[in-house]
Amino acid sequence: MDDQLIKGNKSIEAMSRQLTLVLVSLLCVALAADAAVVERIFHVPIILLFLIVKNLTISRLCERRVITAVNGSLPGPTLKVSEGDTVVIHVINDSPYNITIHWHGIFQKRSAWADGPNMITQCPIVPGNKYVYKFNVTEQEGTLWWHAHASSLRATVYGALVIRPRNASYPFPKPYREVPILLGEWWNANVVDVETQAFLSGGSLSNVSDAFTINGRPGHLYKCSKNHAYELEVVAGETYLLRIINSAVNNQLFFKIASHSFTVVAVDASYTKPYDTDVVVIAPGQTVDALMTADAPPSSYYMAARAYASAGLDGPPFDNTTTTAIVRYANSSNRPLRPSMPSMPAFDDTRTAHRFYTNLTGLLRPETPAVPLHVDERMFVAFGLGVSPCEPSQVMCNRSRGAITASMNNVSFQFPASISLLEAHYNGLDDGAVYTSDFPDNPPVMFDFTDAKLNTDPTLTALLYTEKGTRVKKVKYGATVEVVLQNTAMIGAENHPLHLHGFNFFVLAQGFGNYNNATAARDSYNLVDPQVRNTIAVPLRGWAVIRFVANNPGVWIMHCHLEQHLPLGLAMAFEVEDGTTPESVLPPPPSDFPTC
């Protein structure tokens, strides 16, 4: 029956794509497809997927727990699409929590309604409801991922999103196999309870995780996990493309494989010049595509990940455990009881982290966009932690100290409560009732941002106080925006991974100390082959300069991807106005758009 309908449609090719889309998704719903269905109509591939968010009872570290997960697995299913595809994903919320899903790194060109951050581009999908995320995957390929973007649920609601080149050709030798490596973080406690406790205590009680995981499994170094490690079987001499994703919640990670090295060929779904290294450093939100050749003596080896704790051993507590998985050579008669273990960098090895983060450069290809040289909007954004008076509802908060907050240019971002920013923007509600378009281009005062005395010198501690607000930066469609991201040492200095939704950006320069416009910093900009990312780990007591073209109408949040810093207010948003052509206008919300 569907065959006939599809053939029938072919005779009226003028029919709008929108209608076709609706028709196809209706058809597939009617057919109750139980697997990914690829429909090819008018030569435009449409990928139809169903994701069901629900309770999953699971055993980890000697405990049985009920978690929120997708399709009964941790991590959730890997979504595979090709560049150019139209993707239609039905997210069904059968969990007890409000949920949204973010397709991390997808441009969402003219589909801001499908981006996913809670109260930024949509109200949540309430329990028992569903929402259909529809977007085109255009002009990007590589490794991305999807995750919940409401409360801390992304701890267990996440999976890989792999975009293959449309013509299946990579700018490196074709690997023998491609393997998603999702690095995760596990709490024995309910993650929503942990977040609530952190809020009520004003940030003084923030429990660390109990384990890290590789593809959902903690590995041999944890209790009750002797048989609970991910295993990758390799064929000697073959090359594997590891699609490494840091889906951990609050920690940057070092990743190594004993006796093996990597060639990094992409980060954040942007190709890099091949970069050889024996250690991968990866912040939450980032991805690294690394080629690994099975060229060691056939045996078994551990791959391992543990924290890069940039704040150091004297900083806030962090999960100092190590997750492992096994690389086992096929048919090897050498099966050691204990595979050999890579030697990991020290937790506070900022030198190694910085070397990895700064040495990457973008791969220049004919289709690679060049760095725009003319800048329309220049911003200097100082960001980090701070303090605010405790809210009345923060019943466990230390009222003499105040609550720990976070801010960008001294604005501690407040999520709207009753309408999403995008909907407010679409309806022209920028009069202050929901938000104001006056996010400052500069900090209200300039000071020594990286001075440790900020936290102790009574003449400086007044600077720690932040203002709360929902303020966005309005930019014209097509404007080139340059942002100097200045990390502060307020409360504690640490490397914060900042993630921009809706765009990739060029990373022009990074350094330690205070960014100084007048001197070396600007001369050090890489305007030729900078790395291109969606998440930048800004050095502790340091800075980074990013540049992007605001070629996508909508409201796009930029926030710290250490999950515990988001509710503290380490966020801001860009409001990109409509352009003047039909392709530069934000379409209306879809008919099933969740409202509050």
Ligand X SMILES: *[C@@H]1O[C@H](CO)[C@@H](O)[C@H](O)[C@H]1NC(C)=O
Interface positions with ligand X (CB under 6 A) = 17, 34-36, 44, 49-52, 55, 66, 71, 77, 86, 96, 98, 109-111, 123-124, 126, 136, 165-167, 169, 189, 193-194, 197, 207, 235, 320, 330-331, 354-355, 358-359, 398, 400-401, 410, 443-445, 462-463, 465-467, 596
Shortest distance in whole angstroms from residue 355 CB to ligand X: 4
Is the N-terminal amide bond of 284 cis, ω within 30° of 0? no
Whole-number minimum distance, CB 36 to Cu ion, in Å?
23
CB of 10 to Cu ion, least distance (A): 39
The verdict on whether omega for the bond into residue 75 sits within 30 degrees of 0, i.e. cis, is yes
What does the longest C-alpha to C-alpha distance in the chain come to?
A: 77
Give whole-number Cα distances, 130 to 20, 37, 101, 156, 478, in Å: 21, 19, 11, 19, 33
Answer for the pair 300, 232: CB distance below 8 angstroms, yes or no.
no
| Residue 110 in the binding site for Cu ion (CB under 5 A) | no
Query: CB-wise, 226 or 399, nearer to ligand X?
Result: 399
DSSP 361: B
DSSP character at residue 99: B
β-strand 63-70 against 86-94: which pairing, if any?
unpaired
CA distances from 587 to 110, 472, 582 (A): 7, 21, 9
Tell me the closest approach of the beta carbon of residue 528 to ligand X, in angstroms: 16
Partner whose footprint covers residue 499, from ligand X, Cu ion, none (CB < 5 to 8 Å by kind): Cu ion
Cβ proximity to Cu ion: between 103 and 170 the closer is 103
Classify 495 as helix, strand or coil. Answer: coil
Partner from ligand X, Cu ion, none contacting 444, C-beta within 5 to 8 A by type: ligand X
Q: Is 269 helix (H, G, I), strand (E, B) or coil?
A: coil
As measured in angstroms, the least distance from the Cβ of 454 to ligand X is 9
Quick check: 411 and 382 in contact, CB under 8 A?
no
**DSSP string for 30-48:** HTT--S-EEEEETTEEEEE
Minimum CB separation of residue 124 from Cu ion in Å reads: 16
**Alpha-carbon span 49 to 37, nearest angstrom:** 7
The candidate with the shortest Cα–Cα distance to 239, out of 181, 292, 297, 289, is: 292
- In the bound state with Cu ion, the residue whose beta carbon lies nearer, of 106 and 490, is 106
Identity of the residue, 103 or 318, whose beta carbon is nearer to Cu ion in the bound complex: 103
CB-based burial of residue 34 (10 Å sphere; 0-12 exposed, 13-18 middle, 19+ buried)? exposed
Residue (260 or 354) nearer to ligand X, CB: 354
* Least distance (Å) between residue 48 CB and ligand X: 9
Residue 193 or 375: the one with the smaller Cβ distance to ligand X is 193
Segment contacting Cu ion (CB under 5 A): 96-104, 163-171, 276-284, 330-338? 96-104
Task: Give the interface size with Cu ion as a residue count (CB under 5 A).
Answer: 2
Residue 384 interacting partner from ligand X, Cu ion, none (CB closer than 5 to 8 Å by kind): none
Nearer to Cu ion, 104 or 243 (CB): 104
Report what 226 binds from ligand X, Cu ion, none; CB cut-off 5-8 Å by kind.
Answer: none
From Cu ion, ligand X, none, interface partner of 96 (C-beta below 5 to 8 A by class): ligand X
Applying CB under 5 A, among 60, 104, 306, 565 the residue interacting with Cu ion is: 104
100 interface partner picked from Cu ion, ligand X, none, CB below 5 to 8 A per type: none
Nearer to ligand X, 4 or 167 (CB): 167
Cβ atoms 564, 198 nearer than 8 A: yes
378/596 with CB nearer ligand X = 596
565 lies in the site for Cu ion, by CB under 5 A: no
- Other CB atoms within 10 Å distance of the CB of residue 354: 20
- As a whole number of angstroms, the distance between CA 301 and CA 257 comes to 7
**Can you tell me the distance from the alpha carbon of 240 to that of 245, in angstroms, rounded to the nearest whole number?**
15
Nearer residue to ligand X within complex by CB, 359 or 517: 359
DSSP per-residue codes, 314-352? TSS-----EEEEEEEETT-S---SS-B-PPPPPTT-HHH
Q: Select from 443, 423, 441, 442 the least CA-distant residue to 433.
A: 423
SS3 state at 195: helix
Q: Quick check: 499 binds Cu ion (CB under 5 A)?
A: yes
- Shortest gap between Cβ of 374 and ligand X (angstroms)? 26
Judged by CB under 5 A, the stretch of 128-136, 163-171, 364-372, 497-505 that binds Cu ion is 497-505
Decide whether 129 or 373 has the Cβ nearer to ligand X: 129
Quick note: the x/- pattern for Cu ion over 266-295, rule CB under 5 A, is: ------------------------------
Partner whose footprint covers residue 104, from ligand X, Cu ion, none (CB < 5 to 8 Å by kind): Cu ion
Structure tokens at 389: 């008076």
Residue 314's binding partner among Cu ion, ligand X, none (Cβ under 5 to 8 angstroms by kind) is none
Closest distance between ligand X and the C-beta of residue 320, in Å? Answer: 4
- Using an 8 Å Cβ cutoff, are 116 and 106 in contact? no
279 versus 325: smaller Cβ distance to ligand X: 279
CA distance 444 to 464: 13
Q: Name which of 149, 63, 69, 64 is nearest 105 in CA terms.
A: 149
* Token pair recorded at residue 89: 């994903």
- Residue 23 beta carbon to ligand X: minimum distance, rounded to whole angstroms: 14
Instruction: Fill in the DSSP letter of residue 209.
Output: P
Our CB check for ligand X shows the closer of 376 and 584 to be: 584
**Binding partner of 41, given ligand X, Cu ion, none, CB within 5-8 angstroms per partner class:** none
Strands 377-388 and 480-487: parallel
223: partner contacted, choices Cu ion, ligand X, none (Cβ within 5-8 A by kind):
none
Residues binding Cu ion (CB under 5 A): 104, 499
